[in-house]
Amino acid sequence: MAVLEIVKFPDPGLRLKAKPVQTFDKSLQKLIDDMFETLRAAPGVGLAAPQIGQSLRLVVVEYADEEKEDAKPKTYVLINPEIIKTSKETVMATEACLSLPNLAGNVERHESITVKAKNRYGQPMKITVKGWLARIFQHEIDHLNGVLYIDRATNMYELTDEEMAEIKD
């Protein structure tokens, strides 16, 4: 596995709509593994393929539910994800991004969403998530559409390195 370079704003690739994944082969599996390695090294909780210079509709997430004591992080691979249902309820919270280091802003997101996607092996899946995990999924799926959290944010501000490590992507 390899740690890949994370593309930083204002790289124009971050503003493009990513292409659907067509082939589920060994090179895709390696890319997914490398993305998890990159995510952990950053560190962050989510990473979209455009953030590593790949125009693919691919997202990896590793997140431990903070509400559950001693919760182990769960990994998620979303290929060609599509949000098919959103809650009426929205929540405002602080977001940051690995592609925009040392910045944060308040972003309103749906409290829960249902996503249709394929897993890393090309099998269809549907998942409903809520809370912070729903926020992570929405943030990363935005990346696949060339949308950055700064497009939705209010009250942008700079972070120290310590604050950035607390928020993560």
Active site residue 5: no
Tell me what the mean pLDDT of segment 109-126 comes to.
Answer: 98
State what percent of residues in the chain have pLDDT above 70.
Answer: 94
Please give the tally of structural domains in the chain.
Answer: 1
Instruction: Kindly report the pTM of this predicted structure.
Output: 0.93
Q: Is residue 96 part of a domain?
A: yes
Catalytic-role residue among 62, 95, 140, 162: 140
Q: Is residue 1 part of a domain?
A: no
pLDDT of residue 71: 80
Token pair listed for 96: 């940051």
pLDDT of residue 164: 60
pLDDT of residue 166: 66
pLDDT of residue 95: 96
Residue 44 pLDDT grade (very low, low, confident, very high; cuts 50, 70, 90): very high
Q: Is residue 4 part of a domain?
A: no
Residue 69 has pLDDT above 90, yes or no: no
User: The CATH number of the domain where 107 resides is what?
Assistant: 3.90.45.10
Q: What is the DSSP letter of 12?
A: G
Tell me what the mean pLDDT of segment 157-161 comes to.
Answer: 83
Average pLDDT, the chain: 94
Residues 6+ apart with CB under 8 A from 70: none
Q: Is residue 2 part of a domain?
A: no
Domain of residue 111 covers 12-167
Q: Is residue 5 part of a domain?
A: no
Residues 6+ apart with CB under 8 A from 141: 48, 59, 78, 81, 83, 115
Q: Is residue 7 part of a domain?
A: no
Q: Where are the beta strands (DSSP E) in 5-89?
A: 46-48, 58-63, 74-86
Helices (H) and strands (E) in the chain, counts: 3, 8
pLDDT of residue 63: 95
Q: Is residue 78 part of a domain?
A: yes
**Among 57, 48, 55, 69, residue whose Cα is nearest residue 16:** 55
Q: Which residue has the tokens 């182990």?
A: 72
Three-class SS of residue 52? Answer: helix
Residue 167 has pLDDT above 60, yes or no: no
**Among 22, 103, 10, residue whose Cα is nearest residue 55:** 22
Q: Is residue 21 part of a domain?
A: yes
Tell me what the mean pLDDT of segment 118-142 comes to.
Answer: 98
